[in-house]
């Protein structure tokens, strides 16, 4: 589960990680009132996706009136399909230096890994590609936790002159990561200002499997990811035009790769998981087809616990409402029954992942 920036920063604050003063508002008048108290501010769209700055979802305002105008503009935006319903009004803190600090899980090493770079404010992937020597990575033994020497080495790689402050923040951020069952926690930029080190942005992703023991009060987002999760499925939005519904994460990734191989661009990752029933398949189609960028949809099912006739039933229930062409590949349990059911509706069938991917890319290009 992704957290909004304001929610991540509320958690940072509980761990005494410095953050700017801020107010969450849902209208332009609220933004103007907040700016009147703070002075120069930054208006930041609260959406569960990256790229806000490039999309115009972050703006500075030097007066309450300007804050009103900018907030009104941003609140009317949609960023990568996410409507902006709230903005964070944050006091402007001028960075002297911008750094990056993040923690995630290295599944190969089976341990948390802390990444630090003296170059912040841009995508860490961009830094890794263009200046890999600027990134320091430190694996942390999950049984012993972070050691003093590890925190010191990371802090020195960021800013040796501010090492004591940075050591303190690194240790606290690791506590945030562990205590809240994070898959990712990130500060970008972590800025040095005239008043000290401060987290100007915050990102947190919580492990869905640990949500039962976490108490997050974040409001429901109505996002496709959230809707899928509530129905026992996994969904990740992407930037392409071909919708994907698959059972099993491995097969889903292979399907996405095959679509790219044939010149298509996936619009999403969707795993309906083993044993999906007709209602889940129907819901999956509703979710994927609601993306206005989707021009064609591939359904790739390998029937083990999942029964192909159940999948076919779910497709048939919603097929008349969907105006997007489908390519369906069914293989495994009750395959013949499922294929016969779909054949009556003239739905394009495929016998392999490769054939299905090639077909759906062709359909997408023709629409």
Mind listing the pLDDT tens digit for each residue in 185-219?
Answer: 999 999 999 999 999 999 999 987 787 787 765 55
Catalytic residue (one of 4, 100, 174, 235):
100
Catalytic residue (one of 5, 186, 241, 335):
186
Region 97-213: CATH code: 3.30.470.20
Told to judge if 33 belongs to the known catalytic residues of this protein, a careful annotator would answer no
163 near 155, Cβ under 8 Å? yes
Q: What is the model's pLDDT at position 300?
A: 96
Residue 247 annotated in ligand binding: yes
294 near 311, Cβ under 8 Å? no
CATH 3.30.1490.20 intervals, the chain: 21-91
- 189 vs 171: CA distance, rounded Å: 17
- 158 vs 120: CA distance, rounded Å: 10
Residue 231 annotated in ligand binding: no
Residue 201 annotated in ligand binding: yes
CATH 3.30.470.20 intervals, the chain: 97-213
- 254 vs 256: CA distance, rounded Å: 5
Residue 93 annotated in ligand binding: yes
Element (H, E) at 140: none
Q: What is the model's pLDDT at position 79?
A: 85
Q: What is the model's pLDDT at position 220?
A: 52
The CB density around residue 209, as the number of other CB atoms within 10 Å, is 9
Mark the ranges of the chain whose per-residue pLDDT is less than 50: none
Q: Is the dihedral of CA 44, 46, 50, 55 positive or negative?
A: negative
Residue 52 annotated in ligand binding: yes
Q: Does domain 224-366 have CATH number 3.40.50.261?
A: yes
CATH of 21-91, one of 3.30.1490.20, 3.40.228.10, 3.40.50.11810, 3.30.980.20: 3.30.1490.20
CATH 3.40.50.261 intervals, the chain: 224-366
Q: What is the model's pLDDT at position 302?
A: 92
| Backbone φ, ψ for residue 213 (5° rounding) | -105, 10
Told to judge if 186 belongs to the known catalytic residues of this protein, a careful annotator would answer yes
Is 44 strand, coil or helix? strand
- 324 Cβ neighbours under 8 A, 6+ residues apart: 243, 289, 294, 295, 296, 297, 367
128 near 110, Cβ under 8 Å? no
- 201 Cβ neighbours under 8 A, 6+ residues apart: 5, 187, 188, 189
Bridge-partner residues for 91, per DSSP? 41
Q: Hey, what are 299's tokens? A: 């359904």
Q: Hey, what are 1's tokens? A: 């589960």
- 245 vs 287: CA distance, rounded Å: 10
Return the closest-CA partner of residue 316 out of 338, 293, 349, 292.
Answer: 338
């Amino acid at each position: 589960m992704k957290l909004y920036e304001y929610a991540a920063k509320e958690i940072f604050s509980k761990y005494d990680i410095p953050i700017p003063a801020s107010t969450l508002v849902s209208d332009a008048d609220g933004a103007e009132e907040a700016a009147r108290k703070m002075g120069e501010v930054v208006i930041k769209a609260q959406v569960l996706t990256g790229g806000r700055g490039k999309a115009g979802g972050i703006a500075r305002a030097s007066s309450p009136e300007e804050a009103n105008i900018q907030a009104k503009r941003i609140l009317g935006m949609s960023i990568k399909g996410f409507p902006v319903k709230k903005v964070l009004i944050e006091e402007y803190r001028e960075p002297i230096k911008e750094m990056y600090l993040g923690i995630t899980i290295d599944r190969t090493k089976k341990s948390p890994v802390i990444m630090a770079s003296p170059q912040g404010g841009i995508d860490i992937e961009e830094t890794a590609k263009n200046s890999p020597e600027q990134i320091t990575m430190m694996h942390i033994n999950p049984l012993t936790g972070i050691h003093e020497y590890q925190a010191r080495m990371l802090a020195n790689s960021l800013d040796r002159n501010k090492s004591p402050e940075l050591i303190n923040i690194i240790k606290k951020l690791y506590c945030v990561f562990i205590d809240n069952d994070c898959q990712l926690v990130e500060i970008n930029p972590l800025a040095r200002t005239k008043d000290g080190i401060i987290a100007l942005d915050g990102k947190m992703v919580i492990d869905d499997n640990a949500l039962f023991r976490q108490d997050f009060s974040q409001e429901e987002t109505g996002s496709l990811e959230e809707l899928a999760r509530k129905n026992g499925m996994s969904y990740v939005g992407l930037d392409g035009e071909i919708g994907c519904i698959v059972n099993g994460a491995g097969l889903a990734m292979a399907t996405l790769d095959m679509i790219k191989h044939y010149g298509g661009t996936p619009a999403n990752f969707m795993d309906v998981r083993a044993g999906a029933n007709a209602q889940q398949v129907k819901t999956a189609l509703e979710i994927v087809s609601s993306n206005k960028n989707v021009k064609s949809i591939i359904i790739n099912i390998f029937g083990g616990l999942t029964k192909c006739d159940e999948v076919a039933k779910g497709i048939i229930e919603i097929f008349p409402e969907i105006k997007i062409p489908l390519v369906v590949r069914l293989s495994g349990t009750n395959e013949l029954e499922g294929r016969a059911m779909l054949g009556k509706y003239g739905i394009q069938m495929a016998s392999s992942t490769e054939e299905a991917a090639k077909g759906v890319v062709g359909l997408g290009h023709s629409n």
